[in-house]
């Protein structure tokens, strides 16, 4: 009788577990059959990282817009700024809005460069992750993912700024025959800009192919970021 009672109790305990397991399997199969549900489940599972990325996009946008507005006001306040009718309307447009957008993007790049070293501070990140409260709100386990995201974001912003600058100078030099902009192609600030873009392209290529090349090569090329920071300092203080 005791054995029968024990067996019955065990079956009663195991039955809910089996039902839950079957329910989980059915739910997982249902989620796999729908792309939308897969995306929703991924967002829920990585919600801390998603919130962090959303905050980063918002802050980057704020930095970009703020310094774009600052540059716009600076240009409008410059003495003799194209209010004498000497420039055609299209030239006024390019000379007003292109530097405005590019100036904002440059500060958005600097914002990424300020965040990147924080993601590489492994000892600090490890110590902070031991805090139970911080661990609940910050995705310390995905810090490498955030580092990669910051790197690609910075590279895209640099490529955008470089292409915009080249387009802007080419337009005013060739189409409007502005000698000041023609000489700007060989200026010191443009040289440092070309160097920054070249260094980042090396990092981009090795990062994208990190699974196809030796780790030592990937690691060594990543140290070009140190030179990148130094050249960026020269580029920022140059005029």
What are the φ and ψ backbone dihedral angles of 209, each rounded to 5 degrees? -105, 25
Average pLDDT, the chain: 80
Q: pLDDT tens across 113-160, in order?
A: 999 999 988 888 888 888 888 888 888 888 999 999 999 999 999 999
Four-residue CA torsion sign, 126, 127, 130, 131: negative
Residue whose structure tokens are 């409008």: 76
What confidence tens digit (pLDDT) does each residue in 77-93 have? 775 555 444 555 667 77
Residues 6+ apart with CB under 8 A from 55: none
CA 195, CA 87: separation in Å to the nearest integer? 33
CB neighbours of residue 100 within 10 Å: 20
Residues 163 and 201: beta-carbon distance below 8 Å: no
């Amino acid at each position: 009788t005791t054995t029968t009672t024990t067996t019955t109790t065990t079956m009663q305990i195991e039955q809910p577990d089996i039902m839950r397991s079957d329910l989980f399997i059915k739910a997982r199969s249902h989620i796999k059959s729908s792309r939308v549900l897969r995306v929703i489940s991924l967002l829920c599972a990585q919600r801390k990282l998603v919130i962090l990325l959303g905050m980063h996009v918002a802050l980057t946008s704020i930095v970009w817009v703020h310094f774009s507005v600052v540059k716009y006001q600076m240009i409008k306040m410059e003495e003799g700024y194209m209010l004498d009718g000497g420039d055609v309307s299209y030239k006024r447009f390019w000379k007003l809005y292109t530097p405005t957008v590019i100036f904002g993007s440059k500060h958005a790049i600097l914002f990424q460069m300020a965040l990147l070293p924080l993601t590489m501070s492994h000892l600090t990140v490890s110590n902070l992750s031991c805090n139970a409260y911080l661990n609940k709100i910050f995705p310390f386990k995905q810090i490498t993912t955030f580092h990669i995201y910051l790197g690609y974001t910075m590279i895209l912003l640099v490529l955008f700024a470089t292409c915009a600058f080249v387009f802007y100078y080419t337009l005013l030099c060739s189409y409007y025959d502005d000698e000041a902009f023609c000489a700007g192609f060989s200026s010191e600030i443009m040289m440092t800009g070309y160097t920054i873009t070249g260094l980042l392209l090396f990092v981009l290529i090795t990062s994208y192919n990190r699974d196809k090349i030796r780790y030592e090569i990937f690691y060594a090329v990543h140290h070009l970021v140190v030179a990148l920071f130094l050249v960026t300092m020269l580029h920022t203080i140059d005029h």
